[in-house]
Amino acid sequence: MEDIISTTTKKANPSVGVQNVTAVCGAMISQRFLNNSENGIKNYQKIILAWLEGGIIHNPNKFGKKLPQKIMDEWPYAISSNVPQILTHYALYHKLYNFDKYTHERVIKMGDAFLLSGIIIRS
């Protein structure tokens, strides 16, 4: 889960690429949600709240500058695949998240900012 929160940490297995880590992590949290939506939604909540607090989505270039070049090379793929998946899940199941109105509005604004950014990432 931590891999998707910061999108590129690769804590699970640092020898594999971000694409593999995030795909496996994404599949895992999706399956947890399908198995038990009440508990599974907590994984998605944790990711979205961490993104809101960290500003990762509003300004991906600022966050990306903190990454080592090896990981930065994989950053565009990681962010362009994970963010839409998580935000789509939120769009479909936002009522299950039980966010207050203020947090809900922040998530919507975060999604809008991401879509408007055109995912311009430094390389």
CA distance 67 to 46: 21
The residue to which tokens 């694409």 are assigned:
19
Question: 29: number of CA atoms within 13 Å, CB side?
Answer: 21
* 123 residues of the chain, pLDDT tens digit each: 455 544 445 555 555 555 566 677 777 888 888 888 888 899 899 889 988 887 777 666 666 667 677 766 776 777 777 888 899 999 999 999 999 999 999 999 988 888 877 654 443
pLDDT at 4: 52
CA distance 122 to 62: 10
**Model-level pTM?**
0.72
pLDDT at 21: 64
